[in-house]
């Protein structure tokens, strides 16, 4: 855990971030990953792609988006 007396940039950011909003965003991202994993294999197989094509693309775009 990050203590309040640390004056590192990460420590300062952690105490100013809206944790409820961060938790909601993380929940939405994880829910999207699960739904993408459940729905994409039949569609990808039907159009002749790798069964996890859309899931892989989804995760590939989530990583840079989460950093932003």
Over the stretch 20-56, which tens digit does the pLDDT of each residue have? 999 999 999 999 999 999 999 999 999 999 999 999 9
Q: Which domain holds residue 62?
A: 17-67
Number of domains within the chain: 1
Residue 10 falls inside a structural domain: no
Domain for residue 54, yes or no? yes
Query: Is residue 26 assigned to a domain?
Result: yes
Say whether pLDDT at 61 is over 90. Answer: yes
Q: What is the model's pLDDT at position 49?
A: 95
Domain membership flag for residue 1: no
**Total-model pTM:** 0.70
Phi-psi region of 3 (alpha: psi -120 to 50; beta: other; left: phi over 0): beta
CA 16 vs CA 29, 34, 56: distances in Å: 22, 30, 33
pLDDT tier at 13 (50, 70, 90 boundaries)?
confident
Q: What is the pLDDT of residue 6?
A: 67
């Amino acid at each position: 855990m990050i203590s309040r007396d640390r004056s590192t940039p990460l420590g300062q950011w952690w105490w100013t971030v809206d944790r409820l909003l961060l938790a909601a965003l993380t929940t939405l991202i994880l829910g999207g990953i699960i739904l993408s994993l459940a729905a994409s294999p039949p569609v990808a197989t039907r159009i002749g792609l790798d069964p996890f094509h859309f899931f892989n693309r989804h995760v590939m775009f989530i990583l840079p988006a989460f950093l932003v």
